[in-house]
Chain A
Amino acid sequence: MFQPRGGRFRVFRFGEAIPLAMLPEGCRATVAALMGGRGLVRRLSEMGFTPGVEVVLLKSGSPGPVLVGVRGSRVALGRGVAMRVLVYPRGG
């Protein structure tokens, strides 16, 4: 569908990235890439979701939106959106 953007780590470790939506509650992760159209990527990055930033999954959806801690604030992401943010999990 869309090419992953912002994949600075793409060459080396891309295979280990999973969608944010699939993180277990309480898990920390680092953003790897954003997959989506221009508008979505823009909104995500201005909210603070840029490659390399650390996030923590506060509340999982399944189904439904997820609550993510990023850059000192809490942001709710709809499920579709959360599937488009690829992250490297780093344990709880």
Chain B
Amino acid sequence: MSRIREVLGEDPEIVLAERRYDWISKVLPKVMRGARPITLSDLLDKALLDKYLGIPIFLALWWALFRFTFDVSAPFSDLIDMFFSRLGEAVEPALGGGVLSSLIADGLLGGLGSVLVFIPPIFFLFFGLSILEDSGYLARAAFVVDKILYKLGLHGRSFIPMLLGFGCNIPGVMACRTIDREEDRLLTIIVNPLMSCSARLPVYVLISSAVLGGYAVAGIYSMYIMGIGLAIAMALLFRRVIPYFRGRRSAFIMELPLYTVPTLRSTILHMWERGFLFLKKAGTVIFIGVLVVWALSSFPWGAGLEESYIGVLGRALEPLFRPLGFDWRGAVALFFGFIAKEIVVGTFGVIFGAGGEASEEEIADVIRSENIFTPLTGYAFMAFTLIYIPCVATVGVIYRETNSWKWTLFTVLYELLLAYFTAFLIVSVGHLLGFS
């Protein structure tokens, strides 16, 4: 291209960009009047992007988002919870105890109910995220956060996929395609599952309300923080240790759109799009998973829980998890959590759903009364759920996005190890501090 460069005086690529914009500049005055004024957006940005205020504002908004999600969705969740357990109670005698009635009451209704209970928080979370995104704030957040992320081995563009990961890891991983440098993209994909997706939320809520008492909310919030912390730590670690990631970072160039007041219609549209994606994935997988869990726990028919197939499976896995303080029931729940995280709760629901009731309240009671988890081991269980392998669907998406068995397997393995290590650490430190 050297001859061309000589003739034009610069790189033809740049010349083309210049000439296009030249043409636009000449044309613009003929079609448009009015200079760009100082807009409300500019003023808002003065505050929101301020060197010192930017980050606190960001953290505050984020906290508000989570509070909104949990508080507003709670009454709806309770309603659904009640509905399904009442339904289960009504159905069972009507069908006269037996395989079919158990299938419907315990299997379908019990398991499904304890999972559907969490649709309100998921949709409300996406609602909040959509508002933040449509208003234009999310781009500012990426801007504010880039400073920090850069030092930590990621960058501003990684921010939005990570944030989406809080809703569901699948759109989170898919959103990584906006990161143009391959190494950065890969790194963000690999640590994305550490963003606590909304499917894990049911597990936190269940365990923390069961054994953490007054610290329940703090416990849940700490999971999210832990996820972020670990994602950052892993990103830093991988950048330093794995040669593939040592290269130069992708450039941060991002247009900041004007602030707009999001319309209800567009917010609901976005919320629905993302929420529906999650539902579709969850719906089919959970349904099958719950049935499988029910089947494995009900057969051989008539045998007690511990003699059922699920019990056998649990017993086999138990030694692995004993150092962490999880018994066979926790082990089994985690095992099925691989299919979909929602199933962890569903599994508990089915396991404890003896008698048709499987409401969250009752599961929590059983956990407490049978000492399945202590506050310490419960917390470790939550951490394990946070970190260990993403659900099947996510693994599938990771494979398709990276096109590499190597990296997909790597992700699964490092997360498993990290989960075990972290849970172990929590339990060990807890023991040292005198907790049981």
Contact = CB atoms under 8 A, between A and B. Distances in A.
Contact of B9 (A8, A34, A36, A47): A8
A92 interface: no
B18 interface: yes
A6 B45 contact: no
A80 B249 CA distance: 9
B36 interface: yes
Interface in A35-78: 36, 38-48, 50-53, 58-59, 61, 63-65, 67, 71-78
Contact of B253 (A5, A47, A52, A63): A47
A58 B252 contact: no
B384 interface: no
Contact of B11 (A5, A53, A72, A75): A5
In which size bucket is the chain A interface? 35 or more
Interface residues of B, number: 31
Contact of B143 (A47, A65, A81): A65
B17 A46 contact: yes
Contact of B18 (A7, A45, A71, A81): A45
B21 A43 contact: no
B21 A40 contact: no
B11 to A, nearest CB: 5
Contact of B147 (A36, A63, A71): A63
Contacts, number: 101
B145 to A, nearest CB: 10
B14 A75 contact: no
Contacts of B156: 65, 76, 78
Given A65-B252, A67-B256, A76-B252, A41 B14 contact: yes
A78 B146 contact: yes
B250 to A, nearest CB: 9
Interface in B37-57: 41-42, 45-46, 49, 51
B159 to A, nearest CB: 12
Nearest to B150: A78
B18 to A, nearest CB: 4
Interface string B6-19: 00011101100110
Interface of B: 9-11, 13-14, 17-18, 21, 36, 41-42, 45-46, 49, 51, 139, 142-143, 146-147, 150, 155-156, 180, 249, 251-256
Nearest first, the 10 A-B pairs at minimum CB distance are A78-B252, A64-B147, A45-B17, A6-B14, A74-B256, A50-B18, A81-B251, A76-B143, A76-B254, A5-B11
